[in-house]
Amino acid sequence: MKSLFLSILFSCLFISCDREENAIKNTTIMGTWKLTQAKISDGGIDTKWRGVKNGYEYTFNTDSTFTSTEFSSCSTGRFTTSGRILALDYDCENFNTGHENDEGKQTRYFRIENKTLFLNPSTCIEECTYKLKKIK
């Protein structure tokens, strides 16, 4: 009986720690990010970082909503993260960029290093990486 109790106790602790870690990881994307550089291949081997003037911005909020200046026809939606995948679900009716998955969401691989957000659209065949700096 004692070992059953201990097993249940440790299982609960393990599950609650896992959920807490996921919540902490997801908070790193919160804030406002501005596109500053892009690395896009045209099929050749020359893939250097290039500066971007007047880059678009994303603001990720703690309630899982976001705003974006990337598209003029739609600027709000909801987001989720799972591991290295960021899913953006724009909330404008009939909005389509041509880069959505079967669920209608844009998915991008992401990583954050030193207040820099790196985004790689999952639809890219060649190199395409976008570098956004945290501004708020």
pLDDT in tens, 15-55: 444 433 333 345 689 999 999 999 988 777 767 899 999 99
pTM of this structure? 0.75
SS3 57: strand
Q: For residues 38 and 129, is the Cβ–Cβ distance under 8 A? A: yes
Structure tokens at 119: 């985004």
Query: Which CA distances in Å does 40 have to 50, 86, 118, 128?
Result: 9, 20, 13, 4
Q: For residues 31 and 112, is the Cβ–Cβ distance under 8 A? A: no
- Per-residue pLDDT for 131 more than 80? yes
Q: Residue 99's pLDDT is what?
A: 83
Residue 9 CA, distance from chain mean position: 34
Q: Residue 26's pLDDT is what?
A: 53
Cα separation of 87 and 94, whole Å? 18
Q: For residues 48 and 63, is the Cβ–Cβ distance under 8 A? A: no
pLDDT in tens, 56-104: 999 999 999 999 999 999 999 999 999 999 999 999 988 888 888 888 8
Type and span of the H or E element at 51: strand 50-51
- Domains identified in the chain and CATH numbers: 30-134 (2.40.128.280)
Show Cβ contacts of residue 26 under 8 Å, excluding neighbours closer than 6 positions: 81
Q: Residue 127's pLDDT is what?
A: 83
